């Protein structure tokens, strides 16, 4: 059903029109009884939506894809991907649809996308559905990441569909309305390349340049410049994850964007106790996507992207490979530089300090953290207190006090900027036990705890009275944490 008066916001269908080889027009399942669980009013306003309209019955129909705005052609996007190292030639949106693109207040286009909107031709054995818990999880995690200034897809709303979905037990179904700079993935390029149509591959690369990496456009080797731009964006992104203790959990190439935004929040989590081999995904048995492996996996995924682009780099394959290898060699220095800048900020180092002084301090602190495994988030927040002369809260978290006191003395001699530290070291992150509590309540119909958690994580750096429990690590009784993907 098309409804021109549906919304004042103008949709477009660029991708659906220009990439028909990779887009299957499709309809969302009818939601029998749509009920709004959460609406992101700030994001709605940035996109030009009246939140009052989105809350109305017609707005809800738009949010679940049952009322299709004028000029929108909902499509399931095709993509391929390496999943846990194994190539799957045809993945695609099995339970998702791209509704279309709209202009954000910043002048750039945003994809409006539905997750949990029913089976598509890419559904394979899946039921096409999503349930309330995991969709709210994506809402909470993605909006927290945004508040932490980490590039990410956003969440506009989660609407319960009124349908019961069979998982281990029957659970309430839901649709997440997701907003992204685009849904171009490494896997989108793998799919385009696998068709053998180099014209399609080139158009997709040009589209990615226009949409995300305009600086590459003017260059002679524009496609190599595109690869370099994606390498930079991903190096920065993964450095952000590492600095905040985020474990994505399922870094398959279909879950890695060309824009450099974090996408597809499945079995992800923020680590509590510092643990380089932290894994939260129940299906990641070998720890492929463990915390410390994330930069290496990103590099591996980007090598897959480089392979797909080879024909665009040079007509001579050997020369194309040489160019790709040279570009890929830039990833590690880019990542290390981004991580060091971030770590220096976490430690409150002022500009202009000698790297020969700061870098050993960083390395020694990481070694102390590995040994003591303190709560990662609180430790850095407490270190801000240590910069103000109150070292006890941080000292209580470290085992080797002799080494830590010596470290503190050298660090404090550099006059760390405590206020600057508080602006980069969050106090409120979506801790796993809090997220689980919120999801259980919301699945049972109570969204009060969700609203309170969102209030805390929306301003992660600003300590507020009454929010102490949102800053505290999980109680012992919570036990080891595992999450499940694709549910």
Which residues of this protein are in contact with ligand AMP, per CB under 6 A? 91-96, 122-123, 126-129, 250, 255, 264, 266, 485-486
Q: How many residues does the chain have?
A: 487
CB of 482 to ligand AMP, least distance (A): 16
Residue 460 interacting entry, from Mg ion, ligand AMP, none, C-beta within 5 to 8 Å by type: none
Q: How far is CA 367 from the centre of its chain?
A: 28
Residue 17 token pair: 């029109």
Count of Cβ atoms closer than 10 Å to residue 311 Cβ: 14
Binding partner of residue 94 among ligand AMP, Mg ion, none, CB cut-off 5 to 8 Å per kind: ligand AMP
Residue 92, contacted partner among Mg ion, ligand AMP, none, CB below 5-8 A by kind:
ligand AMP
* Residue number, 284 or 375, with CB nearest to ligand AMP: 284
Q: How far is the CB of 258 from Mg ion (least distance, A)?
A: 14
Please provide residue 75's backbone torsions phi and psi, each rounded to the nearest 5 degrees: -135, 150
Residues 6+ apart with CB under 8 A from 34: 57, 60, 61, 63, 64, 66, 159, 160, 161, 162
d(CA 181, CA 176) in angstroms, rounded, equals 16
Q: Which is nearer to Mg ion, 10 or 83 (CB)?
A: 83
In degrees rounded to 5, what are phi and psi of residue 180? Answer: -145, 155
Q: What residue 129 binds from Mg ion, ligand AMP, none (CB within 5 to 8 A, per partner kind)? A: ligand AMP
Considering only residues 43 to 62 of the shown chain, the ones binding Mg ion according to CB under 5 A are none
Integer Cα distance of 451 and 441 in angstroms: 11
Residue 418 binds which one of ligand AMP, Mg ion, none, with CB within 5 to 8 A depending on kind? none
Of 250 and 323, the one with the shorter C-beta distance to ligand AMP is 250
Q: How many Cα atoms are found within 13 Å in the side-chain-facing hemisphere of 271?
A: 27
Distance CA 113, CA 158 (A): 12
Environment class of 125 (CB within 10 Å of its CB; exposed 0-12, middle 13-18, buried 19+): exposed
Min. distance of Cβ 213 from ligand AMP in angstroms?
Answer: 23
- Comparing CB distances to ligand AMP, the nearer of 182 and 228 is 182
Task: Give DSSP secondary structure letters for 90-122.
Answer: ----SSEEEEEEEE-TTS-EEEEEEESB---TT
Contact 475, 375 (CB under 8 A): no
* Closest to 264 measured CA to CA, from 108, 44, 84, 485: 485
Q: Does 77 bind Mg ion (CB under 5 A)?
A: no
CB 14 within 8 A of CB 101: yes
User: CB–CB of 259/253 below 8 Å?
Assistant: no
Provide the sign of the torsion angle of the four alpha carbons 18, 19, 25, 26, taken in this order: negative
92/426 with CB nearer ligand AMP: 92
Which of ligand AMP, Mg ion, none interacts with 426 (beta carbon under 5 to 8 A by kind)? Answer: none
Q: How far is the CB of 34 from ligand AMP (least distance, A)?
A: 19
Closest CB 486 distance from Mg ion, rounded Å: 9
| CB 187 to ligand AMP: min, Å | 9
Closest to Mg ion by CB, 242 vs 485, is 485
Report angle CA 311, 239, 405 to the nearest 5 degrees. Answer: 155
Comparison of 178 and 382: residue with beta carbon closer to ligand AMP: 178
Nearest distance, CB of residue 266 and ligand AMP, angstroms: 5
Segment (H or E) for 439? helix 432-443
Using DSSP's 3-state secondary structure scheme, residue 170 falls into: strand
Q: Which two tokens stand for residue 293?
A: 């492996």
Rounded least distance, CB 87 to ligand AMP, Å: 14
If we measure between CA atoms, which residue out of 110, 129, 75 comes closest to residue 182?
110
Q: CA-to-CA distance for 253 and 273, rounded, in angstroms?
A: 28
- Which of ligand AMP, Mg ion, none interacts with 486 (beta carbon under 5 to 8 A by kind)? ligand AMP
Q: Considering the complex, state which of residue 64 and residue 397 has its C-beta at the smaller distance from ligand AMP.
A: 64
| Contact (Cβ atoms closer than 8 angstroms) between residue 218 and residue 226 | no
Q: Give the C-alpha separation, 29 to 486, whole Å.
A: 19
CB of 253 to Mg ion, least distance (A): 10
For ligand AMP, give the closer residue by CB, 187 or 348: 187
Integer angstrom CA distances of residue 103 from 9, 58, 109, 160, 203: 8, 21, 4, 26, 22
257 close to 182: Cβ distance less than 8 angstroms: yes
Judged by CB under 5 A, the chain residues 238 through 277 that form the site for Mg ion are 255, 264
Of 254, 264, 375, 422, the active-site residue reads 254
106 annotated active-site = no
Binding residues for Mg ion, per CB under 5 A? 255, 264
Catalytic positions, please?
254
């Amino acid at each position: 059903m098309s409804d021109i008066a549906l919304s004042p916001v103008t949709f477009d269908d660029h991708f659906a029109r220009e990439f028909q080889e990779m887009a299957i027009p499709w309809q969302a399942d009818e939601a029998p009884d749509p009920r709004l669980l959460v609406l992101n009013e700030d994001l709605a306003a940035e996109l030009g939506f009246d939140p009052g309209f989105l809350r109305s019955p017609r707005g809800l129909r738009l949010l679940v894809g049952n009322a299709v705005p004028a000029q929108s052609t909902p499509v399931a996007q095709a993509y391929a991907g390496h999943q846990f190292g194994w190539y799957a030639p045809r993945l695609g949106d099995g339970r998702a649809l791209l509704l279309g693109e709209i202009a954000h207040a910043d002048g750039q286009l945003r994809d409006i996308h539905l997750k949990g909107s029913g089976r598509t031709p890419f559904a394979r054995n899946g039921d096409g559905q999503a349930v309330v818990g995991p969709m709210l999880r994506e809402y909470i995690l993605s909006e927290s990441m945004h508040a932490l200034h980490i590039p990410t897809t956003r969440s506009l709303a989660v609407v319960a569909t009124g349908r019961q979905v069979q998982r281990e037990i029957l659970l309430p179904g839901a649709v997440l309305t997701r907003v992204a700079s685009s849904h171009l993935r490494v896997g989108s390029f793998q799919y385009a390349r696998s068709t053998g149509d180099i014209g399609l591959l080139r158009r997709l690369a040009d589209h990615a340049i226009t949409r995300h990496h305009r600086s590459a456009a003017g260059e002679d080797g524009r496609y190599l410049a595109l690869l370099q731009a994606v390498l930079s964006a991903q190096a920065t992104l993964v450095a952000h994850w590492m600095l905040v203790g985020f474990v994505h959990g399922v870094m398959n190439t279909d879950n890695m964007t060309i824009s450099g935004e974090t996408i597809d929040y499945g079995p992800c989590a923020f680590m509590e106790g510092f643990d380089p081999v932290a894994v939260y995904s129940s299906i990641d048995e070998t720890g492929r996507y463990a915390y410390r492996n994330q930069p290496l996996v990103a590099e591996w995924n980007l090598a897959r992207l480089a392979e797909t682009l080879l024909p665009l780099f040079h007509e001579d394959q050997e020369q194309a490979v040489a160019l790709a290898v040279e570009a890929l060699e830039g990833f590690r220095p880019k990542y290390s530089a981004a991580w060091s800048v971030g770590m220096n900020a976490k430690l409150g180092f002022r500009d202009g300090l000698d790297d020969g002084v700061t870098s050993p301090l960083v390395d020694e602190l990481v070694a102390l953290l590995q040994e003591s495994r303190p709560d990662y988030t609180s430790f850095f927040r407490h270190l801000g207190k240590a910069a103000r002369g109150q070292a006890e809260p941080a000292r209580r978290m470290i085992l080797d006090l002799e080494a830590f006191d010596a470290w503190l003395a050298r660090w404090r001699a550099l006059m760390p900027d405590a206020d600057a530290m508080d602006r980069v070291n969050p106090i409120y992150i979506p801790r796993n036990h809090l997220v689980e509590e919120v999801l259980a309540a919301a699945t049972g119909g109570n969204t009060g705890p969700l609203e309170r958690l969102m209030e805390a994580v929306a301003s992660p750096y600003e300590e507020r009275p009454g929010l102490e429990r949102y800053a505290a690590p999980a109680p012992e009784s919570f036990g080891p944490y595992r999450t499940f993907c694709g549910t």
